Structure 1
């Protein structure tokens, strides 16, 4: 197949123009909405759920918010000893700042139980990631989310190090989602 040399030069000379146009259009897209709010944790329900009150201008709201840490899957509280250990570790992490943490949501997304899906930050530490890295919970990649790769890297680290649910002598044998399906009703 013979290619016309002039045609090839024309296409190649226009390619940078197309590339620049594409980059310009991509740059014009609106970024994903990221909302951050400060909350006062009132109760840790499990290794992946908590209740909190919204802090607005140093005022704490009266209504409780139910929050589900996005991107993680904690062992069920009936999965001894891992479920209770995950809950206790989240309580310890939250207690380091007297329950005052930041909540980051991508949108106003909620789960099937009406809980707000969010990342929980303590200063510059992502608590969702910390729980995964220490081997208390699994990274959940069922749905794509902002910190998915970061959580998977933390899980690989915990697994290699043999932390928590990855301990060779006492590993978590049934994934939390499978356990809940098997033991529901």
Structure 2
């Protein structure tokens, strides 16, 4: 009897544990994979961004040298090509690149491609802001499209996914047929200069005040002041003193 009493609690405990274990299914975690995808490549090198030429071209200090870097696998609309117009979304792509890469608070690094330089001597690279590939950000926001130049195709499939999502969302260059076909951005005409106000008409010069009329009773009184008499038009001239009507009054 004692053995049976002892066995029942033990058997019940064993059965409960077995049921509990059977209902537990271990979940797979992808944390390590996500961390690996988000982590900065070991081959990436920190740079200082000095200037943004346009959406896909920047000037940096790399290993103590001034270099021009062209982002791999993407192409943003033109803004500086002397043989092309400023294309739709070109200025926006440049502004977006400036916003992210000229921020001194962010760490910018580059990962060189298999082919490290192009025919112009520019470094060919994937650019990272902190641990995010900036090439992908441009594609995701519709500021760039895929441009393949083998052998630099390391992340092509990943970037194609980003481009396809932007196309479906119709963002950036994918928002209009003209932009997709490389159409020109409208030229902003300078605001017309305000018309100068006409100069006010010059005020006429004030007429000189007429000389005050002088009156004398007779020529004797007039000659006390004007011994030789006065000519017609003089303030003291009076026709009654010009008896011979020669234009002189009280002449001698």
Report the TM-score, using the length of structure 2 for normalisation: 0.50
Alignment match, 1:69: 71
Q: For structure 1, which runs of at least 5 residues remain unmatched after alignment?
A: 1-33, 56-60, 176-185
Count residues with an aligned counterpart: 137
1:138 and 1:155 in contact (8 A); partners too: yes
- CA 1:99–1:66 in 2, change beyond 3 Å: closer, same or farther? farther
1:40 and 1:99 in contact (8 A); partners too: no
2:88 and 2:173 in contact (8 A); partners too: no
- Which protein is bigger by CA-based radius of gyration? 2
Moved over 6 A (4+): none
**Offset of 1:154 from its aligned partner?**
0.6
Specify which structure has the higher proportion of helix.
Answer: 1
1:36 counterpart = 2:44: yes
Q: For structure 2, which runs of at least 5 residues remain unmatched after alignment?
A: 1-41, 80-84, 184-252
Alignment match, 1:157: 165
Report the RMSD for the aligned CA atoms in angstroms. 2.3
Alignment match, 1:145: 153
2:107 and 2:130 in contact (8 A); partners too: no
**Offset of 1:124 from its aligned partner?**
1.8
Task: Determine helix, strand or coil for the equivalent of 2:116.
Answer: coil
Structure-1 separation of matches of 2:106 and 2:122 = 18
1:97 and 1:122 in contact (8 A); partners too: no
**Offset of 1:146 from its aligned partner?**
0.9
Task: Determine helix, strand or coil for the equivalent of 2:159.
Answer: helix
| Greater relative CO (CA pairs within 8 A, separation 6+) | 1
Residue deviations 1:20-62 (CA, integer Å, cap 9, x gap): xxxxxxxxxxxxxx7311000000001111000126xxxxx2x
Task: Determine helix, strand or coil for the equivalent of 1:171.
Answer: helix
Structure-2 separation of matches of 1:97 and 1:108 = 29
Report the TM-score, using the length of structure 1 for normalisation: 0.66
Residue deviations 1:64-122 (CA, integer Å, cap 9, x gap): 11100001011110333321111111111113454640111134610111100000011
1:46 counterpart = 2:45: no
